[in-house]
Chain A
Amino acid sequence: MSAFVFGYYAFLILASVILAYVEWRKWFMMVFSLTLISFVLGIVGGTPALRAVATFAIVLAVAAMVSYAFKEFLIQLAKPNLAKELRTAPLTAAFGMFVIFTYAIAGIFAPVIAPHGEAEVIAGAFAAPDANMLLGADQLGRDIFSRIIYGARNSVGLALVATLGAFILGALAGLLAAVKGGWFDTFMGRVADVIMSIPSLIFALLMLSILGTATWVIVFVVAIIYSPRVFRLTRAVAGNIVVMDYIEAAKLRGEGDWYLIRREILPNSMAPLIAEFGLEFCFVFLLIAGLSFLGLGLQPPTADWGSMVRENATLISFGDVTPLIPAAAIALLTVSVNFVVDWMLYRSSGLKEQ
């Protein structure tokens, strides 16, 4: 039995005992479950499996600690009202916020953080990671880490603006349609149908081939493509609300459409919209990656994560992890955004239980 295995179990059992003694039941249960799982896996898979479990647990623990610290940090900084809200945030949401914060910093200060230039060729193709290059080199010998950092700026920025655009367009139209009804509702419904009934990649292909591939055109076209989805959802949710009695009452009070939208309908339809935002954001991300598949994406050598996955995708068939790095960057962001969204959704639903 190696020192690692011995130390590992000793640590776990000691920790369990201490936790049991101070009666931190939740933590005790977690640590002791981990001990039991480790026993089983250790017998089945031997030391390597045990090491994997330990690594996983440590990663998880570090993530949890960072999230906790980050949450406390935010609470200290925030104003009292906001701090109260933040206290209700589960660790997952804090983790999400931490990742988003990190990405934002990476994106904003990319030129300072990235050790090498976005397009700078510094090594041979697919050079292995070393002290100089954290994640190794890509197919042209550019530093992958630096390109990921720059990619945060380009991909996230672009997707964020496009998603916001889609939401502003779609939600506004949807709320107005629900409130006004009649011909406006019908008309907007038809417009949305027309846009949605053309497959998004084909629509983008047509529009970008006609209008060119300047960045603002990409943002505009993507916003147009996704706005009908938001419109339909908003319309459906708001449609259920406008038939409620309190809206009827407000109308009888003589409130205007804008008031109804702002004060009555929007707050009550926020939850599904927020849930949708998290998902649409990641769909937009992928659509932009899909565009580069058709040669319509960002201009090279600008780094964006979608293209970075695509460029070396075939390597995955030989177990090479190069394309997984940008894919993981996208996945981490998507998961984080949706963690935060889940919490906000939970809050806005008014459920108090935890």
Chain B
Amino acid sequence: MTKKNQELIERIVEGAKKGQISRRDFMNYSAAAGLTVAGATGLWTKQAKAAPQAGGTFRWGIHDGNTGDTHDPGTYVTRTMIFLAHTHRSYLTMINGDGSLGPDLADSWEANEEASQWTFTLNSNASFHSGRPVTANDVVASFNHHRGDASTSAAKALLSDVTDITADGENTVVFSLSGGNADLPWLMTDYHFAICPANDDGTIDWKSGDGSGPYAIDSGEFGVQFSLTKHEGWHGEGAWFDKVEILTLNDPNARQTALVTGDVDAVSQVDVKTMALLERDPNIQVFNIPSAGAITLPMHCDTAPFDNVDVRNALKLSINRDEVIEKIMYGAATKGNDFHHSPAQPYWPDDIPQRDYDPDQAKSLLQKAGMENLTVNLSTADSVTAGAVDMAVLYAEHAKAAGITINVVREPNDGYYSDVWLVKPWTLVSWGARPTPDVMYTLAYKNDAAWNESRWQNERFNELLLQAKAELDESLRAEMYREMAMLARDDGGTVIPFFNNFVYGARANVGTPDELAASWESDGARAASRWWFES
């Protein structure tokens, strides 16, 4: 080993001790410096892994909040509310840092053989901030909030195959389904399914903001900020901070400068444009986590010219995904392959050939369809995701090589999801990360789904979807998802250029676990209970 490398390793170890670099970076740098993986792992565990420390006030800037937010879990929509929900309320299950499913309020769960009935046993130590224990009744009422004709919950569709939810004693809840669903415990992590205290009449009290999460709300103003204090009787592990302050910082520059000046300790989203510049600041750590969130461009498969599969595939071939990822996401994305199943989700089929930019093949497909010089409109808005309009413009440039004219239509930010999405024949949409392929496909690709954004009808796909859902054998299930992926890729109406990474930041003195959950930004929205301050 050269002297230079020796020095480099010492510097890396020093950085690791001070918590300036993550485990992942540590491994990369060590390898670059000529250490073996085993050697690096040994060094890391010996030198760097400090035990979490308790104390401090965690100030957390979150990128999306609105004055019109409420504590109603049925209408959670902004990131501020979703992150707040994971801080002051609890869910039945949670996604761990390594991507596995772990317990939150529910200690354990089991299904019958058809996976059509699930029994959840609650943690008997769990209590609301008011001091009352969390019982099965609260869980039943919380889920009924999303069911029934009068429900206004956005999560209603997720529970459409749940026929009954009953309390069996104080600590056991039974879900009965109309068909098998092996993914139900995963579904319980959906951000809408926060558990709230039940009223006597079977409704829930969501207005008070009471919950059973790690921190209790002291005061707050929607769209501005919330102050929380540690809930001493919390049932989980972690919650190192004494207090948490959640600030809504909608402006990307405000988030960035607040982090640089130390006005906040962590932010939920870093503008990818300035990510590389921010990483140079030694006081800042930037996390770049591949996720299952995706950008999709659904075409209405029942509307000309998109009713022709050759046209759809020609359009899929006319986007240069690499350039889009480089210029729009600055590399912070995983290349998409036109099926909505990300490597960050279970059962991902890794042997499907990647579709790449091929204007010549696109041209010949169009010739076959008799649609040379195709002209189509693509609707988008900046509010969909940062750089959405730019991306559409770039796509239009790529498609020119295939003789396709894409007119980019910038729609008003305001009302995009009510007036453009599902309405205009070709749009650009941003999807949050869903825990399993089943949840994603059921929401947006099933023939009768309300959000079947591409209006795609494929018998075999829908048949497989139902089969896979009830299949408890993992390898059979994986095989079905592979076939579905091929169908979506070659027949479906959705261009999926990439799965975006979550890019967020924290001050260097914030300690984080080795692995960060990929379900939301900021460690699965649970930074407040999983992170800590290093002295």
Contact, chains A and B (beta carbon distance below 8 A): yes
Contact check, A139 vs B381: say whether CB atoms are below 8 A apart.
no
- Interface segment, one of B407-415, B441-449, B515-523: B407-415
Chain A interface, >50% SS class: loop
Interface members, chain A 222-270 (any B CB < 8 Å) = none
Tell me if B252 and A125 are in contact (CB < 8 A). Answer: no
Q: Does A140 contact B (CB under 8 A)?
A: yes
The distance from the CB of A199 to the nearest CB of chain B, in whole angstroms, is 15
In the bound assembly, the distance between CA atoms of A300 and B380 in angstroms comes to 10
B397 interface residue (CB < 8 Å to A): yes
Residues A317 and B414 in contact, CB atoms below 8 Å apart: no
What is the minimal beta-carbon distance from B199 to any residue of chain A, in angstroms? 39
Complex A-B, nearest 9 residue pairs according to Cβ-Cβ distance, in ascending order:
A295-B413, A318-B277, A301-B393, A125-B327, A314-B253, A121-B397, A295-B381, A300-B389, A295-B382
Residues on A with beta carbons closer than 8 Å to the beta carbon of B527: none
Tell me, in angstroms, the Cα distance from A296 to B394 when the chains sit together. Answer: 20
Q: How far is the CB of A210 from chain B (nearest CB, A)?
A: 10
- With A295-B414, A315-B273 as contacts: A301 and B408 at CB distance below 8 Å: yes
In the complex, B326 has a CB within 8 A of chain A:
yes
Question: Which among B260, B273, B394 has the greatest number of chain A C-beta atoms within 10 A?
Answer: B273
Q: Which residue of B lies closest to A299 (CB)?
A: B410
Complex contact B414–A294 (CB within 8 A): yes
Bound form: Cα–Cα A213–B409 in Å = 10
Contact A317 B257 (CB under 8 A): yes
Q: Which single member of B330, B390, B397, B408 contacts A120 (CB below 8 Å)?
A: B397
Give which listed residue, A140, A294, A295, contacts B390 with CB less than 8 A.
A140
A314 touches B413 (CB 8 A): no
Minimal Cβ-Cβ distance residue in B for A205? B414
The yes or no answer to A197 lying at the interface (CB within 8 A) is no
Interface positions, chain A 203-219, Cβ under 8 Å from B, are: 205, 208-209, 213
Q: Identify the closest chain B residue to A141 (Cβ).
A: B327
Instruction: Confirm or deny: A185 has a beta carbon within 8 angstroms of a beta carbon on chain B.
Output: no
A119 at the interface (CB under 8 A from B): yes
Contact-residue size bin, chain A (C-beta under 8 Å from the other chain): 20 to 34
Assess the A295–B412 pair: CB atoms within 8 A.
yes
Known: A139-B273, A295-B381. 14 other contacts (CB 8 A): A119-B393, A119-B396, A125-B326, A139-B327, A139-B387, A140-B390, A140-B394, A141-B327, A208-B412, A295-B411, A295-B414, A296-B413, A318-B277, A318-B278
Check A296/B256 contact, CB under 8 A, given A125-B327, A139-B273, A140-B394: no
Residues of B within 8 A of A313 (CB): 253
The CA of A297 and the CA of B411, in the complex, are separated in Å by: 10
Q: Is the CB of B414 within 8 A of A311?
A: no
Counting CB contacts under 8 A, is A200 at the interface? no
Q: Which residue, of A213, A296, A312, A314, has the highest number of chain B Cβ atoms within 10 A?
A: A314
A320 contact set on B, CB distance < 8 A: 277
Q: Which of A294, A299, A311, A318 has the most CB of B within 10 A?
A: A318
* A318 and B327 form a contact (CB under 8 A): no
Q: State the CA gap A139–B271 with chains docked (Å).
A: 13
- Knowing A141-B327, A314-B273, the reply to whether A295 touches B410 (Cβ < 8 A) is yes
- Chain B min CB distance to A59 (Å): 30
When chains A and B are docked, how far (Å) is the Cα of A213 from the Cα of B413? 12
Q: Give the complex CA separation of A68 and B301 in angstroms.
A: 65
Query: Is the pair A299, B390 in contact by a Cβ cutoff of 8 Å?
Result: no
Assess the A209–B396 pair: CB atoms within 8 A: no
Contacts of A312 in B (CB 8 A): 273
CB neighbors of B among A292-313 (8 A): 294-297, 299-301, 311-313
State the Cβ distance, A122 to closest chain B Cβ, in Å.
Answer: 10
Kindly state the separation between the CA atoms of A311 and B278 in the bound complex, as whole angstroms. Answer: 18
Q: Chain A residues near B397 (CB, 8 Å)?
A: 119-121
Give residues of chain A (125-140) contacting chain B, Cβ–Cβ below 8 Å: 125, 139-140
In the complex, what distance in Å separates the CA atom of A121 from the CA atom of B408? 15
Contacts of B393 in A (CB 8 A): 119, 140, 300-301
Q: Is the CB of A301 within 8 A of B396?
A: yes
Contacts of B405-456 to chain A: CB distance below 8 A: 408-415
